[in-house]
A and B are shown apart, each in its own frame.
Chain A
């Protein structure tokens, strides 16, 4: 009853000529603009003998992509090149977010350190990286830092694990047989932890005993997969990158190769974004009043308990919303890959595929919609999380 009456008032208000006219005008204007653009597009496409449609996606792409997570070659379709680009974007965004978060937290906490040197150094770090254009940083890593790495024959090998040279970074490839058992062990550890957490909360409210769930989780996540691996007869073969001489040219074969474009993009995105995250972390920790820490001490919590139970949960509440924005920015900024030729969504699809097919409208539409979808998904997930930890006021 209430709802309908409210609806009626809104409707009535909107039907008043002074409110109705501008709205009708806006709708007509939008319709006219859409009509104007589509009419022109039709004429322009006709005059260039092009047609509108998404059929081209199943055609042969006919170009190679040097860095791909899935099997791809010139005979694959445009749709598959889109997928390669999308996966490359997600790959660099995923690792970028992880590194930026770790670096951001380290630098953010260092900014509050009482060690003068550490404090000032992290201040310089933040001011340096966030005030330089990202594209300049990408160029610097790509054209200066990576170009100055040693040549293939003089590769730097660190701990027999990481091989560094001009061609990129090489790491050994781990090949598992019966990998699925390790995965089962991991799932079981997660499931046990889930129930343990539920139980621990109950115990905490009933008898104020603290069960160290996180420590147990760390233990389980290591032990269960190992037990399962032993039971399931999992064998690991490590394929090391090998230096091979072919037609007088040295080259590394085998292992996992990380191309310079990927590295330059990953480093610059991580460093740039970490400077912003560091400021969020600093602001978040500063936002907690001294009284909170004192209250926690007076309740008898020790330093690590204060940090874990009082400071971090409250600081996260302040840190998470702006950091979410930084994750979104990082994902969108990964499109700068196009500038150095890393085959991400923009580079492959809005770059190569567009210039080959000339399907400007369709391709830019697809690319924009993809980024929009990624942005929406990330913000929905983090909004949900944010709501979960938001302050519940009486």
Chain B
């Protein structure tokens, strides 16, 4: 009891204005949280299949339940949903496996995820080899969000590393090209890139070469993010002492061997937090494709909430989307922080 008193005195009521602030915050919390809980849980409707089941005045989670498949898979044909599920199961399984095996095998799993899995996933989701073709315009929902993020990561990362190396190259043509390239992409908003990819780019290629809109947008997003990755990696490269380069050269290593075996492993290790932050940004940016008519998770919610039968459930939809995005972003940033701690102790 005495301890609690001391704790309260020290942490909540240490002086008069802190006491005022504490009381004010308590007042605000007590006046908002019960209302919210009532809405989200106690008065909410969880059971039912139609709009008329929602009469209690609270949140209508039936809305999410009815639209669930659409929110997750978009308009992907129902009988083929197992293909999307299988693809993501393979990915989750291989990532989970990477946590439990020795470092030596991690390399193989990484190799599988980067070089083999994309082809398996593409064939499974897009069709071919005996599977029905599924056009990209019916892809959507959370699955599309993840696909874009994954595509973005595996393309933006290597490109970003090359750009960072180019920016520090001794060859002026490469250096100035990379500087111009990076600064251009960093100076414009992602929306203009998406517009350009969707509307302008088809004019640049031969009329008969039909590049899929989703692919164009995905490439646009990847190039955009690669410029940010490049700047993060450059930070890592700059933090390395000159001695590392000199040591590598004195061992007789050439440019590529020096960079890939000595420089980059060290540089990238120091900037892992920055790289993950860029990936989180990429994940949070994917909903922007709504603007060119591609419907990922948020787009599907917008579609569902403006369905004439299901009008008026915008809040439920946005809360659902918010929870999904928040959980993934938060977990990733938490994981990054733990990595940061791990590597900072290794240094000493």
Contacts and interface: CB of A to CB of B under 8 A. Distances in A.
Interface of A: 13-14, 19, 22-23, 26-27, 30, 37, 40-41, 43-45, 47, 113-118, 121, 127-128, 131-136, 139-140, 143-144, 147, 332-333, 335-336, 338-339, 346, 350, 354, 360-361, 364, 367-368, 371-372, 375-376
> Size band of the B side of the interface?
35 or more
Given A115-B21, A116-B11, A339-B290, 11 more contacts: A23-B174, A114-B10, A115-B12, A115-B18, A116-B12, A127-B330, A136-B298, A136-B321, A338-B291, A354-B195, A371-B188
Given A117-B12, A118-B21, A364-B192, A136 B322 contact: yes
Q: For the complex of A and B, list the 9 residue pairs with the smallest distance between their C-beta atoms, beginning with the closest.
A: A116-B11, A131-B329, A332-B189, A23-B173, A375-B187, A335-B189, A372-B187, A133-B284, A37-B204
B5 to A, nearest CB: 14
Nearest to A332: B189
6 contacts: A27-B173, A115-B21, A332-B189, A333-B189, A338-B191, A339-B290
A144 B318 contact: yes
Contacts of A13: 170
Contacts of A40: 203-207
Given A131-B330, A364-B192, A115 B22 contact: yes
B187 A361 contact: no
B171 A19 contact: yes
A135 B203 contact: no
B343 interface: no
Contacts of B286: 133
Nearest to B206: A40
Contact of A376 (B187, B203, B288, B329): B187
Contacts of A332: 188-190
B140 interface: no
B189 A132 contact: no
B199 interface: yes
A339 B171 contact: no
A44 B207 contact: yes
Contact of A133 (B14, B204, B325): B325
Nearest to A361: B200
A364 B287 contact: no
A121 B321 CA distance: 23
Contacts of A128: 326
B192 A368 contact: yes
A23 B171 contact: yes
A354 B305 CA distance: 28
B11 A135 contact: no
Contacts of A114: 10-11, 14, 18
A131 B298 CA distance: 15
A360 B195 CA distance: 9
B187 A117 contact: no
B119 interface: no
A140 B325 CA distance: 14
Nearest to A375: B187
B41 interface: no
Interface in B279-294: 280, 284-288, 290-291
Given A40-B204, A338-B291, A131 B325 contact: yes
B268 interface: no
Given A14-B171, A37-B204, A26 B189 contact: no
A373 to B, nearest CB: 8
A26 B21 contact: no
B219 to A, nearest CB: 14
A131 B291 contact: no
A318 B5 CA distance: 38
B315 interface: yes
